[in-house]
Amino acid sequence: MQLTRLDRWLRERFVYETHIYTLRLPESVPAGVIAEELPESPGRKYKHRFILRNDGAVSSLIESLRDGNQMFTTRVVDREAWYVPLIAPSGKSITWWFIWLGITLVVVFFLVHLGRLAWANPELRQNVEEAFEILKG
């Protein structure tokens, strides 16, 4: 299903986080950045990982890395939080899910309302009771 603007905004704001990998620490790291030193292992290219959730901090850190002529790479990944599958189910739009839920609730409400109006009619109730009597034999 196609994502709506609301779906994309929810994902950008609450689901995605940016990981920046570098060989060495930059001169300055913006506030709110989680810095991790990665363990050394064969085939690993980078030693440090920075986890950022704010676009302004991402821009600031990338600018700092470019000013220091450092090699880096960025990856956008989903956060590991309990609410991520609720906000961003894979391949589905939560906006459309709520729209269909609303339409279903409105239809059920009107069907129940029509049923109550029909049952309030004594002549109709009598006809239904007679029909059940005939069916019972």
State the pLDDT at residue 9: 93
pTM score, whole prediction: 0.72
Mean pLDDT to the nearest integer, 80-97:
90
User: Which DSSP letter does residue 75 get?
Assistant: E
Residue 1 has pLDDT above 70, yes or no: no
Q: Cα–Cα distance between 59 and 65 in angstroms, integer?
A: 10
State the pLDDT at residue 52: 93
Q: Cα–Cα distance between 12 and 92 in angstroms, integer?
A: 15
Q: Which two tokens stand for residue 18?
A: 């940016």
State the pLDDT at residue 43: 83
H or E segment and range at residue 49: strand 48-52
- Which SS3 state, helix, strand or coil, does residue 48 take? strand
